[in-house]
Amino acid sequence: MTKIRTALVVAAAMASVPALAQQPMYSPWYFGAGVGGGHLNKSGTDLTGFDNAQVDDTETTYTVRAGWRFNPYMAIELGYYDLGKYAFHGRPFGTALDVDGQAKAKSVGLSFVGILPIDQFDLYGRIGYARSELKINASAPLAPTPVNGKDKQNEATYGVGGRWTFIPHWALFAEWMKNDKISIDSYLVGIDYKF
């Protein structure tokens, strides 16, 4: 009886080897970089407090990120986002001075990523925590020195995207990402290296 059980266990194990070999493989660690466009969702007056301020609300954005995909459907990711420099021009309330400047935004975030694998493609969504900074510097023609200021925010970050593994270890991604307080939408494309 023991020999029959042993033979059945060995047969079942050998039968499962081809099934295991056919399951999609994923690499647990990845590193990526991307570039895209950012859109500031604030008016010039909201950003600066100036009367009738104008702001360039579209800029180039960058990201560098690293993640750990601990199973086929979930990952944890740490990312740095340079969200762009947005130039503005306006006049403070009650003055006749024109002021020019720029607002530079950046963010570091830790996200939980839910993944739907479909052959060589992954669809994913992210949600997490971000520490963001908006740094403003401004100058006026008669002012002796520029004015600088910064605002740091703890906020939620979220996004959706897709990734195509075109050869082993290399994948292209496209993603929309947003932080809830800094009010910049980023549309990014880039490449991930999986190892």
| Mean pLDDT for the stretch of residues 50-78 | 91
Task: With CA atoms as reference, report the closest residue to 36 among 81, 87, 77, 78.
Answer: 81
Residue-level pLDDT at 53: 77
- DSSP secondary structure letter of residue 41: -
Whole-angstrom Cα distance, residue 145 to residue 139? Answer: 7
Specify the higher pLDDT residue, 147 or 166: 166
Residue-level pLDDT at 149: 85
> Given a cut of 80, is residue 57 above it in pLDDT?
yes
For the chain, what are the domain ranges?
30-194
Question: pLDDT category, 65, cuts 50, 70, 90?
Answer: very high
| Mean pLDDT for the stretch of residues 72-82 | 97
Residue-level pLDDT at 17: 41
pTM: 0.78
Asked if 42 contacts 181 with a C-beta cutoff of 8 angstroms, the reply is no
Enter the CATH code of domain 30-194: 2.40.160.20
